[in-house]
Structure 1
């Protein structure tokens, strides 16, 4: 490793934040290790990045809303939660799709005048016809 690690923009910024007496105490290997440990973070590259400050009396509060693709390696627990959430979302989607499909079939049946159970009505067809008058 040579000294051009000190020319790296990340390392320059890091060294500027340190006291002058400590800047020269790092070896190139240590600077490289710090860059790998701290420099891998890509702050500010989110699809949605909303930041604002709210002043309330003598205090100021800041709020940050970030969203984007998760590039981190997930823990076992996070993987399990992600799978459960995906299964739940898929189940809700399938139930809603099935209910909408059954409603559409019922409305088509009623529009064609097909009466599967004589004398029994759910009232959906009457409501549907009445809502378009």
Structure 2
């Protein structure tokens, strides 16, 4: 939050951006005190500058969706970023491990079938037949 004097509140960049989105008669209706309180309320939401900041909306029929992609240097507290990072890493590694295991088992099954090895008589998962039809 900037420490501009109350007389210069309309020169504050956050207030200017807010007022630009309003009709002129609404812009002029705010008192200096109201604008000061708006600046304090908006100050908690400002993210600052990011190296990558892509925002937009996407309309699909009567539905409208927004998307935001921001990236930059991590300025969050160490505890918060570490805790979130551990959770994301754990989920990513779990998914990677499961997908690798399934792919490995599939390759082993196809190799077994290609060599003509039957582990159970008169039983097939049908994967080998599907693979051959490709």
Partner-residue secondary structure (3-state), 1:83:
helix
Pick one of 37, 41, 49 that aligns with 1:43: 49
Partner-residue secondary structure (3-state), 2:74:
coil
Aligned residue in 1 for 2:107: 104
- Separation in 2, partners of 1:115, 1:106: 10
How far has the Cα of 1:117 moved from its partner? 2.1
Aligned residue in 1 for 2:98: 95
* CA deviation map 1:55-109 (0-9, x unaligned): xxxxxxxx56232245113353443232122111101110111100110111111
- Separation in 2, partners of 1:64, 1:101: 36
TM-score w.r.t. the length of structure 2 is 0.51
Residues 42 and 127 of structure 1: CA distance in aligned 2, closer, same or farther (over 3 Å): same
Q: Are 2:51 and 2:72, in contact at CA under 8 Å, matched by a contact in 1?
A: no
Q: How many residues align?
A: 92
Greater Cα offset, 119-128 or 88-97: 119-128
How is 1:14-33 mapped onto 2 (pairs within 5 angstroms)? 19=7
Residues 53 and 97 of structure 1: CA distance in aligned 2, closer, same or farther (over 3 Å): closer
Q: Which ranges of structure 1 fall in alignment gaps of 5 or more residues? A: 1-10, 21-40, 55-62
- Separation in 2, partners of 1:18, 1:98: 64
* CA deviation map 1:19-57 (0-9, x unaligned): 46xxxxxxxxxxxxxxxxxxxx751521x5234699xxx
Partner-residue secondary structure (3-state), 2:69:
strand
- Separation in 1, partners of 2:111, 2:102: 14
Q: Which ranges of structure 2 fall in alignment gaps of 5 or more residues? A: 9-46, 60-65
Residues 44 and 52 of structure 1: CA distance in aligned 2, closer, same or farther (over 3 Å): farther
